Amino acid sequence: MKNNVIVFDLDGTLLDSNNQMIGGAKTLACLNTLQQTGCTLAICTGRLDHDIVKICQEYGLDMKHRISQNGAVLYQDNQLKATLLDKQEALDIYHELKTKDIRIELNTISNRYWTSERDPLFPKEFYDSHIIKEDFEDILLYQPAVLFLIVAQEQQLKQIEETINQNYQFTKAIRTSQTSLEIVHSSVSKGEALKILYPDCQIYAIGDSPSDFEMFPFSKIGYLVSNQECHYPCQRKETILEALQDIISHIK
């Protein structure tokens, strides 16, 4: 029998805008039930790896694998494996982005770099790894850069997304919300991460945004817990709690 893997996003899926678990104690009870029946649990998020560690500690979840930065960083067998931005393309993109009136953030494997403090309403890290730096050029030259996060108006993001995806060979842009876009290596996706970590497993994936949709083709069932349009086959549920309850009914 194939091992059952339940993989889920954090923001908007497991956690609400106040970083509280959606469904509360009932959701946690379902996760514990799945763990006790031998299922593998995995978080697949755009956040950094340390935020997955923090969530697991807070809720007593046992995660043998962790997928962060939308699939660019994988934790397996006590190793972090990262797919980095192409250095030259990242520099070229950064020089172009700097000319625009947008917020640019840069992630390495373990830190977020900001040019200024975030809006207080912006989702906060659970473990604060941010470093304020006026310019990112030296980081791109000398550090393992993984991801740009762009925060802007929807029309601006659409234009940036089209430019990146049409003009760069080793880099792509992924919309993560109406006001945010992430730029990663072209081989990176949450779906590719599942393909690497769980090639012979039966996967149940739960997500709410376009960056999660890439998990669905690799899953026995993909659960969409938002009203977003999705071109992949999936089941729509109101919350992660309903999706977990449905999974439990399938694997009993």
Q: Residue 139: CA atoms inside 13 Å, Cβ hemisphere, count?
A: 25
Two structure tokens written together for 199: 């090639």
Contact 43, 55 (CB under 8 A): yes
The 8 Å CB, 24+ separation contacts for 206-209 are 206/6, 206/7, 206/8, 206/9, 206/13, 206/240, 206/243, 206/244, 207/8, 207/9, 207/13, 207/44, 208/9, 208/12, 208/13, 209/9, 209/12, 209/175, 209/176, 209/177
Please report the pLDDT score of residue 175 as a whole number.
86
**Which parts of the chain have pLDDT scores under 50?**
1
3-state DSSP assignment of residue 139:
helix
How far is residue 6 from each of residues 37, 84, 109, 215, measured CA to CA in Å?
Answer: 12, 26, 24, 11
Task: Dump pLDDT digits (tens) for 221-243.
Answer: 999 999 999 999 999 999 999 99
Three-state secondary structure readout of 155-199: HHHHHHHHHHHHHCCCEEEEEEECCEEEEEECCCCHHHHHHHHCC
Two structure tokens written together for 202: 């039966």
Domains of the chain, with CATH numbers?
4-81+189-251 (3.40.50.1000), 87-185 (3.30.1240.10)
pTM for this entry: 0.91
Other CB atoms closer than 10 Å to residue 36's CB: what's the count? 8
Please report the pLDDT score of residue 125 as a whole number.
87
Sign of CA dihedral 118, 125, 171, 154: negative
User: Which secondary structure element, helix H or strand E, spans residue 104, and what is its range?
Assistant: strand 103-107
Contact 152, 178 (CB under 8 A): no
Please report the pLDDT score of residue 64 as a whole number.
87
Contact 207, 215 (CB under 8 A): yes
Strands 202-207 and 4-8 turn out to be parallel
Contact 82, 146 (CB under 8 A): yes
Please report the pLDDT score of residue 39 as a whole number.
94
Contacts (Cβ under 8 Å, ≥6 apart) of 77: none
- In angstroms, rounded to a whole number, what is the distance separating the alpha carbons of residues 84 and 73? 9
Contact 32, 244 (CB under 8 A): no
Kindly calculate the radius of gyration of the chain based on its CA atoms and give it in whole angstroms.
18
